[in-house]
Amino acid sequence: MKYSSEVRTPEDKYRVGATAHVIEEHEEGNFEITESIENEKITYHSKGPFSKTGNVTVVMTYILEPIEAGTKFTGAGYFTMPWGILGKVLDKLFVQRTIKKDMEKLFENLKNILEK
């Protein structure tokens, strides 16, 4: 993964307006933080030519809530596919399942790291 950012100091890393350009094996996109409450909530928007799918727009929000046993982590998001009606059909048939699997794997990995 290759990552570049306009962040100049560590304090700016999660501020509203912070941006990054990420290149992974088969994906590339631009990210911008649009909402940030320290240790509580962060929302980012991304848009880019992810893979060969064209311009996909993604909005993700992550919320941290203190609970008796530690911290509850909630992630929610949505995305829009290009290609009008065809994009909507592909989304329902293939993309949502793939993203769900990827997110479950990501959250399981995060849980394993945090519980060590």
Confidence of residue 12 (pLDDT cuts 50, 70, 90): confident
Q: What is the pLDDT of residues 49-92, one digit of tens each?
A: 654 555 778 888 999 899 998 888 888 887 777 777 877 777 77
Range of the domain at 26: 2-80
pLDDT at 2 over 60: no
Please give the sequence-ordered ranges of beta strands (E in DSSP) within the chain, or none if there are none.
2-5, 19-23, 28-37, 41-48, 56-67, 70-80
Specify the number of domains making up the chain: 2
Looking at the structure, tell me whether residues 60 and 88 fall in a common domain: no
Percentage of the residues of the chain whose pLDDT score is greater than 70: 80
User: What single-letter DSSP state applies at residue 15?
Assistant: S
Looking at the structure, tell me whether residues 99 and 54 fall in a common domain: no
The answer to whether the CB of 73 falls within 8 A of the CB of 62 is yes
Looking at the structure, tell me whether residues 73 and 36 fall in a common domain: yes
Looking at the structure, tell me whether residues 112 and 64 fall in a common domain: no
Looking at the structure, tell me whether residues 75 and 24 fall in a common domain: yes
Looking at the structure, tell me whether residues 75 and 89 fall in a common domain: no
Look up the pTM and report it: 0.64
Looking at the structure, tell me whether residues 50 and 65 fall in a common domain: yes
Here the CATH number for the domain that contains residue 12 is 3.30.530.20
Distance (Å) of CA 58 to CA 21, 66, 67, 76, 77: 14, 27, 29, 11, 7
